A and B are shown apart, each in its own frame.
Chain A
Amino acid sequence: MEKFITLNSKAVPLPIENIDTDQIIPARFLKATDKIGFGNNLFKDWRFKKDGTINDSFVLNHKKFKGAILIAGNNFGCGSSREHAAWALKDYGFKVVVSSYFADIFKGNALNNGLLPVQISPEFLKLLLEIIHINPETEITVDIEKQLISINGSTAIESFEIDSYKKYCLMNGYDDIDFLINKKERIEAFEKKLA
């Protein structure tokens, strides 16, 4: 897994609540057997109209908003366990998703793919969305080591939580499989105890 370091980027605002993984990547695109190319179908039915033409009113199609940070409404990633949602966001170019709340499975999937979910207070989320709407060029800094998210050119800053083990994995590019296969003897001993 790619190492996560401090990110400085513009951000895309998506202030909709309860965005489920069916919206992030509809089920009809889950027929692939690899992890490549899901970005093309990210938010497919919001980015494109039924006839396949671009939906100009959707924020990802606004030229003024760009960047590797997605700022979304409360309870992002609810619903299906499909990891394809994390793959699609990452493949599209996002490295951080910011929300006031994340669904459990999505959060785990994101972390396992080097996509950092940053959970902030509803007040800070509101402020971020306002500032980006006023000035889409605003840059946001996400510092994983210090666990801080700040708005460049302002004093606005907030800390965020991350499991210390997961933080270590992200910063070093390690994943759970590496960790678990090194525990094989412990696991086998546990199985003997169970039997």
Chain B
Amino acid sequence: MKKTLFDKVWDNHVVETVKNGPQILYIDKHLIHEVTSPQAFAELGQRNIPVFRPDQIVATADHNVPTQHQHLPIKDALSKNQVEMLTNNCKKHGITLYGLGHENQGIVHVIAPELGITQPGMTIVCGDSHTSTHGAFGSIAFGIGTSQVAQVFASQCLLLSKPKSMRITVNGTLKNGVLAKDVILYIISKLGTNSGTGYFVEYAGDVFESMSMEGRMTVCNMSIEMGARGGMIAPDEITFEYVKDREFAPKGNDFEEKIAYWKTLTTDEGAKFDKEYYFNAEEIEPMITYGTNPGMGIKINETIPQSNDASFEKSLKYMGFNKGESLVGKQINYVFIGSCTNSRIEDFRIAANYIKGKKKAVNVNALIVPGSQRVAKQIEAEGLKNIFETAGFELRQPGCSACLGMNEDKIPSGEYCVSTSNRNFEGRQGQGARTILASPLIAAATAVEGKLIDITTQLN
């Protein structure tokens, strides 16, 4: 029987199939953070159940942390309580915690790959929908709710029905200035926000095969924005090279043995998918969103489409945009480069490369938030810090920051923010804030110009 990459990893982790019901899926790695774990720990406490496999859990504080003065106590009492509760729970149950002040702290979906915790062929879960990020390594990784966090604590397993399979193939060569973020925003704009519901996606073709691990993570990260629980890319030499020598990666002979196994993790020729889509790389341009879900995207030089749908009109009203309007030239006062989608070193290299020798526009507040302490160190070591600060950008400490309007970093009501994050929902970056999703390149250019520009005119 011909198998897909997803089938191979899934079938390897099935403990048992319940008659006429779900399957018991074994979870290799469980990542936790302060926001979606406290109620799960409480659930265990109420039932008097221990954590079954504490060694397979890694914790960090990211959603609810400030991005400045991290050495000081957290000012917000509720946030402080939540972070302290994570610390206490980890201590009590013997779970490794990379909390504030630790050199490994950062956004959960940035630190696990950079520490080599994320490896091909694994099953990885976290109480966060962007866990799909880790699929970039050819692992099955997906977000779970807090009840499921408690289930994994209790049994290192989940009860799940196997999702359907979808393959998205993008062949050809991307144009200059078209980044991984543009590829995924383009795909979602074509397929819509619920096209992936009930599916697990495999990304295939020239574009993903030649993409860096950082780019692959950006793509897989946003799988959930089309409704798919996760997305994955077959591991290859680029993957092995990235994993090699990382702190928790297998070493020496173990690594060689693992590679031999990882090389088998490809979709068999002739394996059937429930759905397939094909796109040409040459069709993709730098993208921006104009509405309040990630499917509402256009090429930077296109105009907002026409539609009389009530939800569409509600969305444009919130954004303060009109049908048929071009967004080029629109004044933007906030720029955010960060989040689990785009806060890895490559993202900051792209931004810095554009910013170098330029200044941010006076009207712009530009926030640069590294995904982890390690990325922050690398930004400094590579001289990017100097570029950002000379240009007037504010370089912060690692965390989820302005992606989700939870911690101190929020965009004021009514203001537009060109953001490298993943969601442009109403109020996502703060009550009344208006988010325009884009790549780090468009974000950097917007900060320099003080308005959205047609970046393609600078690239050709």
Contacts and interface: CB of A to CB of B under 8 A. Distances in A.
A134 interface: no
B415 interface: no
B54 interface: no
Contact of A33 (B21, B52, B81): B81
A41 interface: no
Interface stretch (A18-26, A60-68, A89-97, A146-154): A18-26
Contacts of B26: 187, 190-191, 194
Given A30-B406, A81-B129, A181 B426 contact: no
B353 interface: no
Contact of A34 (B18, B42, B64, B428): B42
Contact of B147 (A23, A109, A164, A165): A109
Contacts of B163: 104
Interface string A142-168: 000000000000000000000111000
Given A186-B16, A187-B15, A187-B157, A34 B22 contact: no
B197 interface: yes
A113 to B, nearest CB: 7
Contacts of A175: 147
A187 B293 contact: no
A20 to B, nearest CB: 5
B153 to A, nearest CB: 9
Contacts of B198: 104
Contacts of A15: 310
B21 A104 contact: no
Contacts of B146: 83-84, 109
B81 A109 contact: no
Contacts of B102: none
A163 B423 contact: no
Interface string A24-64: 00111011111100000000010000100000000000000
A25 B251 CA distance: 44
B328 interface: no
Give the interface size bracket for B toward A.
Answer: 35 or more
Nearest to B311: A17
Contact of B293 (A18, A50, A112, A190): A18
Contact of A184 (B42, B155, B194): B155
B36 interface: yes
A92 B67 CA distance: 34
A83 B194 CA distance: 19
A74 interface: yes
Contact of B427 (A16, A34, A45): A45
A8 interface: no
Contacts of B144: 81, 105, 108
A75 B197 contact: yes
A187 B78 contact: no
A79 interface: yes
B407 to A, nearest CB: 9
Contacts of A23: 425-427
Contacts of B155: 177, 180-181, 183-184, 187
Contact of B22 (A20, A27, A103, A163): A163
A176 interface: yes
A74 B227 CA distance: 12
Nearest to B84: A33
Contact of A103 (B42, B63, B227): B227
B404 interface: yes
B39 A22 contact: no
A33 B38 contact: yes
B150 A177 contact: yes
Interface in B76-127: 76, 78-79, 81-82, 85, 127
Contacts of A27: 63, 404-406, 428
Contact of A187 (B22, B43, B156, B404): B156
Contact of B20 (A45, A50, A164, A187): A164
Most B CB contacts (10 A, CB to CB) among A18, A23, A50 go to A18
B36 A83 contact: yes
Contact of B21 (A26, A74, A164): A164
Interface in B39-95: 39, 42-43, 47, 49, 52, 63-64, 76, 78-79, 81-82, 85
A8 B2 CA distance: 48
B35 interface: yes
A16 B311 contact: yes
B190 to A, nearest CB: 16
A178 B222 CA distance: 33
Interface in A105-160: 105, 108-109, 112-113
A78 B211 CA distance: 28
A112 B21 contact: no
A24 B227 CA distance: 17
B250 to A, nearest CB: 14
A13 interface: no
B49 A75 contact: no
Top 3 closest pairs, chain A to chain B, by CB: A165-B21, A112-B147, A31-B78
11 contacts: A34-B38, A74-B194, A78-B293, A79-B129, A80-B129, A81-B143, A83-B146, A105-B144, A176-B158, A177-B154, A187-B26
Interface of A: 15-18, 20, 22-23, 26-28, 30-35, 45, 50, 73-75, 78-84, 86, 101-105, 108-109, 112-113, 163-165, 175-177, 179-181, 183-184, 186-187, 190-191, 194
Given A16-B314, A34-B38, 11 more contacts: A18-B194, A20-B293, A20-B423, A22-B426, A80-B423, A104-B198, A104-B227, A108-B148, A109-B145, A163-B161, A164-B20
